[in-house]
Structure formats: C-alpha cells, structure tokens
Structure 1
C-alpha cells in the first residue's frame, strides 16, 4: 500500500482517486508522496519518507525545487492541463477591454431605479461604443501550452496574429496555425500591436521583459494582457502608459498593490485556471505522474529531474538512483553491481542541469548490502528499490 498526503483543496468537488493500492493519510510523516496545489512549501518540514511531490498546476514558485532535488525528491507539475481555461479567459479579456461590456452593465445597475430605464439606456449606449477585435493585430509572447492555444483562437476570430517564442517546442510548433506569423524579436512583435498577451514563465530573462521600450512600440490605445506571472511586466511602466493613454486597458490575473491602484484595469483573483474542468485535468495529470513514478520509477513533467521512462517494471528488480550530474557516476554504480554479480537487463541515465537520474532492471533482487553500497556513493541523493 502506498500512502498519499493531500495539501490544499485539489478539486472543487473534493473528489481525488488514486485507485487500488493507495490510501490517503493525514500527516506527511506517514506518506510516500504529496499531492498539492498552491500552499507555499518554502520552510515546510518535509519528512524523509516523501519521495515525490506533484503540483496540480504549472507554476512551481511555491516549491523549493532545487532543495528537494538534493534530497532525492522528484517534483512534478501538470503543464497544459489548465491551458484551455486560461485561453478562454484571455480571449474574454480581449473582448471585455474592447466593447465596454463591464462599464455598460455598471451603468445599468447604477440606474436601476429609473422608471424609464429602457429609453435612458438607449440614449446612454453611445458612451460604451467599442471596437471589434476582428482584423486587429495581436502579439502573443510565448507559444507554449497556453500561448499556442490563444494564438490559434485569435486566428479563428479573424485577428492578425503574430507570435514570439525563441524556445518553441516541436510539439507546439506543429500545433500552431499556419496563419500565426512568427517573428524573431520581442520588439518586432510589439510594433503596432493592438493587443499584447503574455504567456511565459517567470525566469531571470523574463522578469520585467515588458517595460517602457516595448509599450512604446504598441499601437495607440493598445491593450496589455498578462495571465502569465506578475513579474513579467514592469508595473511602473504599465501605470505610466495607462496614465498617458498609450494603453487603453490592462488586464491581469495578479492583484498586486500597484495594479489595483491603476486606472482602466480588469484584475482577476489569479483565476486563469479557475474552472472545475481545469482542476480535474490538473489532478488527473498529477496523479498519473505520481503513480507511474511510485510504481515504475518513470519520470514525466518533472521540474527538477530529467524525463526518463523504461515502461512498466517487469524484471525481478528495478532500482532508481537520484544523484548529482557528475562524471563517472555510471561507472561507480556498475562497479557496485559487479561486486554483487548482478545481471543488468537494461539501464537508462538522463540528466537535467545539476541533477541526474539512473534507473536499471536486474534479473535478481539485489542484496541489502548492495543497496547500502549504492547509497554510499558520493553525490547519490537517494536510492529507490521500486520492485
């Protein structure tokens, strides 16, 4: 029996199922893995028993991933599982910022006591005349799980779509509409855009990437949409652009002290992925990742260890070594196995940055002494006997 500790409300209806061979425990000390969503784990007392953590969502800023890597804890996320939900809200923000929908509804509420409201509303509607998004130029920064869907949806709405992503994957490139025009620089993307929407992670090279220089290249009265991370934009530059009328609207998912003080904004409560469907999709992906790792040692969508899969564990024994990415690690592992006359059926080794993962199947179960010897190899973080 494998034990799972859940942190946070994983789905709206509270339904989370791992299937046979799993149960849920109340404390992390009794668990093999953690399934979580948004709790900040920095400073969290993580028990030695925890082998993996799965985040129901894409962002992992709330998890000390490198610290956990050095403890041999694999951290998973669920990229793309909530991308449709975010895409729909981004498209909604394009329309809301263009048509005066919210302002019009607010006018109606404010004049609800007017006995002639039907006639009055007819006269007032000229104040809320907007523009259609069809035919307008939109720049999409980042063409990953969300950005590619936003770009394709904008094409279907008749927009003139440009995309910028120097690191686009083959998978997302194939999924991208041929009508999305890719450009080589952020400046070329921003030039004369009526809408600019951001879909990149928060990293050293993306923090503050949208600032005065980029905003000045947009078309007059442009709309900026940020449903990625709050750090992507220079908030002071956005505020100045709104005050000067360079931006007509700013829509974002991050209610920071600076954004809430800005005029002409639509700010949501970090609700981009806030649908029951997205929550269920994220949970399903995270559960699948955890089960495959706990049962077979396979890694997919980890943020601190490389992808590695040898399929279902069928040999007498499967061993996984989580270790630093240093020279001669394979030689040290095989030397230990040779002393035990272990016959290795197959072996895989993958690395990602400072961390690496070695997994192998043997014809016979390894002795306790051999497992102990593997654990004593310098730079080995954890050794798992999976079967």
Structure 2
C-alpha cells in the first residue's frame, strides 16, 4: 500500500486514478511515499525521508525545492501542457481587452444605473461610445516569447484571428517545434521580437536565465504603442521597469495575471488575480496527469515529465525490478552489475539514463534479491537510493 500526502485540494478525477486498494490518500501522513500538491510552498524540512516522488498538478515547480530533492534522489514531476488551453483562452481574452475599450465601456455603463429612460440612455450611449473606440487584432503582430505547449497553442489561435505571429525560444524542443505552425516566424533574439511586435506575450518558466528577463534595457526595444502580457510567472518581469516604460510612453499597456501594489489603480494596466489555470478542466487535467505519473513511478519506476530526473520508461519483463538512483559518475553501473553477477542473478532487461548530475537505472531481474544484496548496492559510493519493485 502506497501512501500519498496531498497538500492542496486535488481534483477528484485525479485522485480516482489512484486505486484505493493500492493507495492510501490523506492530507496528513508521518511517512508518505509521495506528495501530490498544486501551489503549496514546500520546504526541504517538510519532505519526510520516506518520500520517493513529488507530483505537481501544474506546470511550474518554483514552490518545490527541486535542487534539494535531486540531492536526496526524489523525483519531481510536473504537468506540462495540462492547463495550456485554459491559459491560451485567457491570453486571447487579454489581447481583446488590450485592444478594445471593453473594460472602461463596461465601467461607464455601470455608472448609468440611476437612468430610467431607455430612449435617453440609448441616445447617450450613442454619443459616448466613441470614447471607447479600440483597434482590431487582425493584421497586428503578436510576439510570443516561449514556444512550448502554451505558446504554440496561442500562436495557432492568433493566426486564426488574422494576426502575424513571430516567436522566440532559444530552448525550443523537437516536440514543440513539431507543434508550432509553419507560418510562425522564428526570431534570432528577443530584442528583435520586442522591436517588431504590437503585442508581446510571455510563456517561460522561472530560471536563473529568465528571472528579470523583461527589464529596462529590453523594454527600450519596444515599438511605440506596444502592449505587454505576462501570464507566465511574475519573476520574469521587472515591475519597476514596466512602470517606468508605461510612464515614458514606451509601453501602451501592461496586462498581467500577477498584480503588485505598484500596478494597481493605473488606467494603462489590466490586472487579474492569477487565474490563468483556474478552470475546472485545467485542474482536472493537471491532477490526472500528476496522479498518473506518480502511479507509474511508484508501481513501475517509470519517469515521465520529471523536472530533475531523466525521462525513462521500460516495459516490465522480470520477476523483480530495481530502480536505482546514483550520482552521474563513472563505473557505478559496472559495480552494480558486478554485484548482481557475483550473486548469479540474471538480468532480463535494463535501461540507464542520466540528466546532469543524476543517473537513473531500471533493472529487471529473473529472480528475487536478498536484503543483504540490496544493502550491498546501497553502500556503493555514489548510490543515492535503491528501490525494489515487485
């Protein structure tokens, strides 16, 4: 029986992926096998020594101490793309809000609550509507920074709206490139994208390379009347630099899902309360993906969508499977195989992959192994943990 600690309200559709005859799920455990969470801020001290994996029902993992987990041999999973459609729809809504006088128009109509004469109201609205005239998105250029699951979906939607789309992503994966419409023009550098785009939308994770990426220097590249959207992560944008760009007329508008005191009350800013993934469907999709990944890892040792371990999947073919995590240094795998050979244990199948400082091994054996042999493997210098999966 595996014990799953939940630290947020997880969609029931996700929890249903963990059969109750194999998994015990609760919000309090002293020795859980895995943690399933959404936005809960997790510290290293919160993670019991029994934890083998952490599943995040969402894309970002900045609320999880990933580096410390890696050192402890704990696989951290996220749910990339599961909330992509929800974010895409909100970004398209934001583009419309940033191009038309929708919000001020609604606010103006709300001021007419005391009017009782319908004809007079119609006449007044006909006179005043010119105050809320906007512009159409068709024919404008959208610059997308980050062309992953969300960015590629926004690109398709923007093309359907008649926009020209340019994109920048120095770390574009092969899978993401296949998803990207061929009519999206790839830019060689982010400064060129900012210089050409009428609207700029950000879809990047928080990394050392992206923290504060949108700063005073970059914003100076903007073409006059540009609109910047941030529905990715707050830390990517230097808020003070954005305020300065708005004050100086470098930016026409800033639309973001991450309010801050410096932005509230400005007519040239539209703020939303971090609702990019706040749909029933997105929460269900993220929970299902996270639960499925934890289940496959705990039952089979397979890894999909880990942010700190290599992706590795191997069909079961032996009586017993060893899942071994070790430092990515020479000769450890040879030592492990030597111990198994000395014990005359047949290896049916195996797979080994590494990611930066971590190596991960799945080894299917033709017979069971003793506790003494597992202890022998565990005692090898560089081995972080050994798990026997029956």
Note whether the superposition's TM-score is higher than 0.5. yes
Task: Report what 2:283 is aligned to.
Answer: 279
Q: Map 1:265-276 onto structure 2 (within 5 A).
A: 265-276=269-280
Does residue 320 (structure 1) correspond to residue 323 (structure 2)? The answer is: yes
- For residues 122 and 28 of structure 1, what CA distance do their matches in structure 2 show? 63
| 2:87 counterpart SS class | helix
The answer as to whether partners of 2:14 and 2:288 remain within 8 angstroms in 1 is no
Alpha-carbon RMSD: 1.5
Alignment length (residue pairs) = 385
Does residue 380 (structure 1) correspond to residue 379 (structure 2)? The answer is: no
> What does the per-residue CA deviation read over 1:79-113, in whole Å, with 9 as the maximum and x for residues that have no partner?
01001110111111010011010110000112211
- For residues 342 and 44 of structure 1, what CA distance do their matches in structure 2 show? 38
**1:214 Cα deviation after fit:** 2.7
Does residue 364 (structure 1) correspond to residue 378 (structure 2)? The answer is: no
The answer as to whether partners of 2:44 and 2:68 remain within 8 angstroms in 1 is no
Q: Map 1:1-387 onto structure 2 (within 5 A).
A: 1-11=1-11, 16-17=15-16, 18-19=18-19, 20-115=21-116, 116-260=120-264, 262-311=266-315, 313-387=316-390
> What does the per-residue CA deviation read over 1:311-336, in whole Å, with 9 as the maximum and x for residues that have no partner?
2x341110011121111111121122
The answer as to whether partners of 1:239 and 1:262 remain within 8 angstroms in 2 is no
The answer as to whether partners of 1:316 and 1:363 remain within 8 angstroms in 2 is yes
The answer as to whether partners of 2:167 and 2:185 remain within 8 angstroms in 1 is yes
The answer as to whether partners of 1:5 and 1:34 remain within 8 angstroms in 2 is yes
The answer as to whether partners of 1:2 and 1:21 remain within 8 angstroms in 2 is yes
- For residues 301 and 124 of structure 2, what CA distance do their matches in structure 1 show? 67
The answer as to whether partners of 2:317 and 2:348 remain within 8 angstroms in 1 is no
Gaps of 5+ in 2: none
| 1:87 counterpart SS class | helix
| 2:73 counterpart SS class | coil
- For residues 333 and 43 of structure 1, what CA distance do their matches in structure 2 show? 29
**1:246 Cα deviation after fit:** 2.1
- For residues 314 and 192 of structure 1, what CA distance do their matches in structure 2 show? 55
| 1:125 counterpart SS class | helix
Gaps of 5+ in 1: none
> What does the per-residue CA deviation read over 1:143-177, in whole Å, with 9 as the maximum and x for residues that have no partner?
00111111111111100110111221111111111
**1:229 Cα deviation after fit:** 1.1
**1:213 Cα deviation after fit:** 3.1
After the TM superposition, which of the residue ranges 117-126 and 154-163 deviates more from structure 2?
117-126
**TM-score, normalised by the number of residues in structure 1:** 0.96
The answer as to whether partners of 2:58 and 2:80 remain within 8 angstroms in 1 is yes
Cα separation, partners in 2 of 1:261 and 1:120, compared to 1, 3 Å: closer
After the TM superposition, which of the residue ranges 126-135 and 219-228 deviates more from structure 2?
219-228
**1:141 Cα deviation after fit:** 0.5
- For residues 256 and 317 of structure 1, what CA distance do their matches in structure 2 show? 53
The answer as to whether partners of 1:7 and 1:35 remain within 8 angstroms in 2 is yes
- For residues 262 and 124 of structure 1, what CA distance do their matches in structure 2 show? 22
The answer as to whether partners of 1:3 and 1:22 remain within 8 angstroms in 2 is yes
**1:31 Cα deviation after fit:** 2.3
> What does the per-residue CA deviation read over 1:221-251, in whole Å, with 9 as the maximum and x for residues that have no partner?
1110011111212212210111122212101
After the TM superposition, which of the residue ranges 148-157 and 262-271 deviates more from structure 2?
262-271
After the TM superposition, which of the residue ranges 279-288 and 232-241 deviates more from structure 2?
232-241
- Tell me which stretches of 4 or more aligned residues in structure 1 moved more than 6 Å: none
**TM-score, normalised by the number of residues in structure 2:** 0.95
**1:114 Cα deviation after fit:** 2.3
